[in-house]
């Protein structure tokens, strides 16, 4: 049985093909520059050379069609025909407060996604188009929606409400929703395994640090608070997003410049964050290169980003009272050792002490690692996220009728003996290049 997962972003379409019986990934890939011109597919199959092909994708409909044709291609494909696929899992950014768990997509679900698409204007329209395109090609199998916001529906009112007129919440659903839920679910469950604890007796601070970033306070295994808000703009400083700012500031800039609401929204989402500070870069690798060459604004961007993450770690420590582990994940959390150092240095008074040598070694997506010093009261884990696996397992369980909310459902990766075959093979290669990496690989307690 094969399960396909699709993650249609504002200008991309990621996919994974998973063999459920063999518990193995058959193929992964991405169509980039969708809607932008010059689009192309990058298709990876284990044991083969990466396949790239340019193809014009003015919308996500063409992107999904390209993915399907590539998967069934005689030379590049991994399945004989689309009939092999028995379920499709779709990432949906924003489900509002209507969903507490993943669902099979029906007309009611599609109406709900359309009702809240203004809350996720960069992603929800693409998510919806991806679902529609896939359902045209595969109309007779379950299409399942895995919402970024569902994980955070356990937050209490004191966490999710804003101090604005209450009728805004009642009439327009103005509240904190939070995102990166699939990533937080995976890393929270894995952290509990590594700690050897009941997941529902575990308190965590998890930082998902990528182009989009957020922090999650996990109390007794459930989301208690998170840094992103009604949209993914609030919270940490991100690649092109401002994060926290005085809400009156946009009105001040509008009066000074004559900019309209749409221009301000675009500037805060696409021209701010690290890009806004440096004036040139949104990628942390480019910023690090520039900082090492003496670029003062690049160094300022790093310092500001790290400072913001520290503030949230401290705030969530205070909220939780007791923290079992600090977890870093996503591209920056998994690889940017220089940013991790800036974030973690100075947290010793909280009992969070990192080991510089371990931190420098931890640059892999193929293993869970621990970079805390022996004297650290709180372990620091680097847990590579696996959102696609969560989507796959949710889709399978929905199809099989065994699915429920994460508080009443057990994932395969919650087993202490769970092994990701692809990552295990990749780790062997990593260890050949860097044998010292073995010393920081985290094992279940």
Instruction: Provide the 10 A C-beta neighbour count for residue 412.
Output: 12
Same domain, yes or no: 373 and 394? no
Whether the pLDDT of residue 230 is over 80: the answer is yes
- pTM (2 d.p.): 0.94
Whether the pLDDT of residue 67 is over 90: the answer is yes
Q: With bands split at pLDDT 50, 70 and 90, how would you rate the model's confidence at 59?
A: confident
Same domain, yes or no: 403 and 436? no
Task: Work out the average pLDDT over 227-252.
Answer: 96
Same domain, yes or no: 328 and 404? no
What pLDDT, on a 0 to 100 scale, did the predictor assign at position 178? 96
Enter the tokens of residue 258: 């004559």
Same domain, yes or no: 94 and 210? no
Within a domain: residue 173? no
Query: 158 Cβ partners below 8 Å, 6+ apart?
Result: none
Domain that holds residue 57: 2-147+388-413
**Any idea how long the chain is?**
445
Within a domain: residue 170? no
Task: Work out the average pLDDT over 99-123.
Answer: 87
Task: Work out the average pLDDT over 226-251.
Answer: 96
Dump pLDDT digits (tens) for 343-384.
999 999 999 999 999 999 999 999 999 999 999 999 999 999
Residue pointed to by tokens 């932008």: 36
Whether the pLDDT of residue 9 is over 90: the answer is no
Same domain, yes or no: 85 and 202? no
Whether the pLDDT of residue 8 is over 90: the answer is no
Domain count, the chain: 2
Within a domain: residue 212? yes
Within a domain: residue 359? yes
Q: What 8-state DSSP symbol labels residue 37?
A: S
What is the domain-level CATH number for residue 25? 3.30.420.40
107 phi and psi angles, rounded to 5 deg: -60, -35
Same domain, yes or no: 115 and 65? yes
Catalytic residue among 19, 56, 148, 430: 148
Same domain, yes or no: 397 and 428? no
What pLDDT, on a 0 to 100 scale, did the predictor assign at position 185? 98
CA-CA distances (angstroms) from residue 384 to 24, 147, 334, 441? 17, 20, 6, 12
Given a contact cutoff of 8 angstroms between Cβ atoms, the answer to whether 432 and 45 are in contact is: no
Same domain, yes or no: 340 and 304? yes
Same domain, yes or no: 303 and 404? no
What pLDDT, on a 0 to 100 scale, did the predictor assign at position 385? 94
SS3 4: strand
Half-sphere exposure of 242 (CA within 13 A, CB side): 15
Task: Work out the average pLDDT over 429-442.
Answer: 96
Average pLDDT, the chain: 94
217 DSSP β-pair partners: 205, 225
Residue pointed to by tokens 């670029």: 295
The answer to whether residue 246 is catalytic is: no
Dump pLDDT digits (tens) for 306-334.
999 999 999 999 999 999 999 999 999 99
Within a domain: residue 171? no
Q: With bands split at pLDDT 50, 70 and 90, how would you rate the model's confidence at 257?
A: very high
Whether the pLDDT of residue 122 is over 80: the answer is no
Given a contact cutoff of 8 angstroms between Cβ atoms, the answer to whether 94 and 123 are in contact is: yes
Same domain, yes or no: 350 and 409? no
Within a domain: residue 277? yes
Within a domain: residue 184? no
Whether the pLDDT of residue 96 is over 90: the answer is no
Enter the tokens of residue 196: 């050897």
SS3 393: helix
Within a domain: residue 78? yes
Same domain, yes or no: 349 and 394? no
What pLDDT, on a 0 to 100 scale, did the predictor assign at position 33? 87
Task: Kindly tell me the sign of the dihedral angle through the C-alpha atoms of 102, 106, 109, 113.
Answer: positive
Same domain, yes or no: 136 and 214? no
Whole-number percent of the chain with pLDDT over 70: 100
């Amino acid at each position: 049985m094969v399960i396909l997962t699709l993650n249609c972003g504002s200008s991309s379409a990621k996919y994974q093909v998973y063999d459920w019986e063999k518990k193995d990934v058959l193929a992964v890939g991405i169509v980039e520059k969708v809607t932008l011109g010059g689009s192309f597919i990058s298709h990876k199959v284990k044991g083969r050379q990466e396949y790239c092909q340019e193809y014009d994708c003015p919308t996500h409909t063409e992107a999904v069609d390209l993915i399907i044709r590539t998967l069934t291609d005689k030379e590049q494909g991994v399945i004989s025909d689309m009939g092999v696929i028995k379920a499709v899992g779709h990432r949906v950014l924003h489900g509002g407060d209507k969903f507490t768990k993943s669902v099979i997509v029906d007309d009611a679900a599609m109406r709900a996604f359309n009702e809240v698409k203004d809350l996720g204007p960069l992603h929800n329209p693409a998510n919806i188009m991806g679902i529609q395109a896939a359902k045209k090609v595969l109309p007779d199998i379950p299409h399942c929606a895995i919402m970024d916001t569902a994980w955070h529906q356990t937050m209490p009112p004191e966490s999710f409400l804003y101090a604005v007129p209450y009728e805004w919440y009642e009439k327009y659903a103005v509240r904190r929703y939070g995102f990166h839920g699939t990533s937080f679910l995976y890393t929270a469950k894995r952290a509990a395994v590594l700690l050897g604890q009941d997941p529902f007796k575990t308190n965590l601070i998890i930082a998902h640090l990528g182009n989009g970033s957020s922090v999650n306070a996990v109390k007794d295994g459930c989301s208690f608070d998170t840094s992103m808000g009604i949209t993914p703009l609030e919270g940490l400083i991100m690649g092109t997003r401002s994060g926290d700012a005085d809400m009156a500031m946009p009105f001040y800039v509008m009066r000074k410049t004559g900019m309209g609401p749409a221009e301000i929204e675009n500037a805060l989402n696409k021209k701010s964050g690290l890009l806004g500070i440096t004036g040139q870069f949104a990628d942390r690798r480019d910023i690090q290169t520039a900082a090492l060459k003496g670029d003062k604004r690049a160094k300022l961007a790093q310092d500001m980003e790290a400072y913001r993450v520290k503030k949230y770690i401290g705030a969530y420590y205070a909220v939780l009272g007791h923290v079992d582990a600090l977890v870093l994940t996503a591209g920056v959390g998994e690889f940017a050792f220089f940013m991790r150092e800036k974030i973690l240095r100075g947290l010793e008074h909280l009992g969070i002490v990192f080991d510089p040598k371990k931190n420098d070694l931890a640059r892999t997506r193929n293993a869970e690692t621990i970079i805390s010093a022996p004297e650290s009261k709180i372990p620091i884990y680097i847990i590579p996220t696996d959102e696609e696996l969560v989507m796959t397992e949710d889709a399978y369980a929905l199809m099989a009728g065994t699915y429920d909310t994460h508080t009443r459902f057990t994932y395969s990766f919650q087993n202490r003996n769970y092994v990701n075959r692809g990552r295990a093979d990749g780790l062997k290669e990593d260890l050949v290049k860097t044998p010292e990496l073995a010393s920081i690989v985290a094992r279940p307690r």
